[in-house]
Amino acid sequence: MTNPLLESPPLPRFDAIRPDHIAPAIEALLAEADTAVKRAETVSPVTWASFVEPLDDATERLGRAWNQVGHLNSTVNTPELRAAYNAALPKISRFHSTLQQNPALYAQFKALAAAPEAAGWDAARRRTVDNALRDFRLGGAELDTADQARLAEVQQTLAELGARFSEHVLDATDAWAYVTEDAAELAGLPADVVAQCRASAQKAGVDGWRLTLQMPCYLPVQTYADDRGLRERLYRAYGVLASETGPAERDNGPLIEQILALRAEQARLLGFASFAELSLATKMAATPDEVLAFLRDLAARAVPHARRDRGELETFARDELGLDSLEPWDLAWASQKLRQARYAYSEQEVKAYFTEPKVLAGLFDVIHDLYGLRVLPDTAPVWHEDVRFYRLVDADGRLVGQFYLDLYAREGKRGGAWMDDCRNRRQRSDGTLQTPIVYLVCNFGRGVDGRPATFTHTEVTTLFHEMGHGLHQLLTEIGELSVAGINGVEWDAVELPSQFMENFCWEWDRVEAMTAHVDTGAPLPHALFERMREARNFQSGMQTVRQLEFGLFDMTVHAAAEPPADGIMAVIERIRDEVAVNRPPAWHRFPNQFSHIFAGGYAAGYYSYKWAEVLSADAYAAFEEQPDALGATGARFRGEILSRGGSRPALENFRAFRGRDPEIDALLRHSGMAA
């Protein structure tokens, strides 16, 4: 039997990979990587060609196969695929733990750093070796044997717990549905959402309309459903996902306690006072106190605006909507009504103009105008019929990179939006160039009844955001795997290119070009866009403090030497005392769904969104300052930030582009919170 995970085709064979391929492929590739590691331990003399490149070859083959398995597990999850993934996960984790602790490899890297050839290295190779030596220390290479064994056990368990956390959220989301045959309950919902609910019911073999907790249904219900009971029903179900109120086997509460305890132990083993200190060892921010001070400084600026936003909403809800109390399930609905009353437009009105073909064309035009590159349709084996594939070429038609686009929500697909690396750029010793490939994944509603999908402006912004991450990976000009693209980039700077791209969703020429009404084909009227601009910072204070609440909670629980004795809910309630203006009910279990920090890469790093927003707003200000030099400024942004990958510190990249250190002024101005 041929195994697509063991082949080396130009593109992954997503149409051919089956769960029973995973175990034999991972076993074979682990054996291959182990052999390469053993050779590398004793190779002499230690040179880039004799040591680094063969090691990269073997570990890249393993990493690429595992990446494909993980991607399928996130986008087309099935019980069989999940079982195969979870069976292989401990072996992968064990391999990487062992690699990071390998004393012979550590010694070889030290020898390489001291070798005569090191004097002639470029920045990428120097950074590669510096990072490797740091990662050996952070991986436990300097610990005694007993502590190394315990650290490896902790890391393996953490990987398994993170996977289970994510599975619980996915399963709890997919398990819940509400079916109604009463059309009156759906009053206020957009027609396309009602049609999707009808299609969901038909697919499930039931009459009426089937509502779910997936975002293309949940968010419109909270925002537009006039039936207060319906809003409350879905809010309550979503608020306790993966908690003690559901099946015990899907409760993430115990997992959170275990994760925090193991992370604290991991930090202690490596000589750090807390997991936050360990996490920051590879970031721009130096200490937890620096991060907390940054977040609280921003909170001091934002909380007065947030309180004003809340007060205005309460008054409007009482006087205009007849709500004596503003409940959590009223917030989005009342806010939408206030937005419409104040600015004479609704998100739903705007959504009809953002049709998928026009949005994609507009996005691709921005890429062309900034960087002189064209996006062209391409073909590849895909994991679902929804998926499309594109190539990115320069003015001479040369291939720069390729990307998959998977836009729609569906059962078995993890929620949220993300970019991931399928294959990184690499300059091989034989002179051949491996071009990068990325996945761009969203969870938007699909078109129904033969009509194209339409996106809210927020969803358009999300798409641009993920494309910004993709361009960071695709436009790298670094040839060393470990510092190409986003590899080696400090985590609190990795959101700079993504948040930067969001700004183009607010330029009139761009918006006009990427809109065509789903019924008439007319572009968005300029008067309507002006009302959108006036409303851009509507409730920005409330939105900002919500993000600060998450960042403060994340850093607080991870900056402690031990998990909180009174439980994580007590911690988040204390944070809410400090910054929240919209307080969820006591029964709400937000941490149980906080996959960013308990199942993703943002542990002790959620502050990165706001930290990087300072960088991105300041970077975009350079384009505002020279509106007639888009191509030239874009070329500098590409050359000094996107192309550099992790080959030099992010702060150096920013200084090279901007000519100075970052300043917060542009962020405050863009958010409507400038003095």
**Which residues belong to the active site?**
466
**Using CA atoms, how far apart are residues 452 and 326, in angstroms rounded to an integer?**
36
Amino acid type, 667 = L
What are residue 437's DSSP bridge partners? 402, 423
Q: In the 8-state DSSP scheme, what is residue 235?
A: H
3-state secondary structure 194-208: HHHHHHHHHHHCCCC
Whether the ω angle into residue 45 lies within 30 degrees of 0, i.e. cis, is yes
The continuous run of DSSP H or E covering 180 comes out as strand 177-180
Question: How big is the chain by its Cα radius of gyration, in Å?
Answer: 25
Tokens for 285, please give them.
Answer: 């921010």
Edge-to-edge, what's the strand order for the sheet holding 418-423? 374-378, 388-393, 399-408, 437-444, 418-423
Query: DSSP secondary-structure letter at 565?
Result: T
DSSP 279-330: HHTTSSS--HHHHHHHHHHHHHHHHHHHHHHHHHHHHHHHHTT--SS--GGG
Q: How far apart are CA 359 and CA 659, in angstroms?
A: 33
Helix (H) or strand (E) holding 144: none
Tell me which long-range contacts 16-19 makes (C-beta under 8 A, separation of at least 24). 16/381, 17/68, 17/69, 17/72, 19/78, 19/80, 19/81, 19/83, 19/84
DSSP H or E segment with residue 125: helix 123-139
| Backbone dihedral angles phi then psi of residue 408, each to the nearest 5 degrees | -100, 145
Can you list the pairs that 483-486 forms with residues at least 24 positions away whose Cβ atoms lie under 8 Å?
483/124, 483/127, 483/128, 483/131, 483/645, 483/646, 483/647, 484/124, 484/424, 484/425, 484/426, 484/436, 484/645, 484/646, 485/421, 485/424, 485/425, 485/436, 485/645, 485/646, 486/421, 486/645, 486/646
What does each C-alpha distance from 589 to 83, 567, 570, 584, 592 come to in angstroms?
Answer: 27, 12, 11, 9, 6
Instruction: Kindly write down the DSSP assignment for every residue of 373-435, as one continuous string.
Output: -EEEEE----SSTT-EEEEEE-TT--EEEEEEEEEE--TTS-SS-EEEEEE--EE-TTS-EEP
